[in-house]
Structure 1
């Protein structure tokens, strides 16, 4: 069983992945851009999703975008 990740900070790779997804990249396009396999992108996405407590990847992208918008207001 995998250990709980909800509430843990995103890694730089996970943050980058979610940032690219907010910009409209697909998983396949992102894998190509990063020079990794699609399985790697899926694995990073799943880990980010669990850390954010999201139910789907779309939900994770939405939560990430909200976090970034909130952080930008306080800069």
Structure 2
């Protein structure tokens, strides 16, 4: 979950490019963790709140819309599994 926290910090600092890169890495990290399947419920819970908050910050600032939708889709897939 380190990438997601770093992306939040970069977005808060208005470092858009770094935030976008870190957010993409967070999405990949989530997918890898979900594929491993150790604690899907815990992962979804951990990423849901943080990811939604980060996505909302991005939407409000007009940034990261594609990454936000990708994270939402990954979370929806995880919940359905």
Shorter-chain TM-score category?
0.3 to 0.5
- Structure with the bigger RCO (C-alpha within 8 Å, sep 6+) is 1
For normalisation by structure 2, the TM-score amounts to: 0.33
For normalisation by structure 1, the TM-score amounts to: 0.35
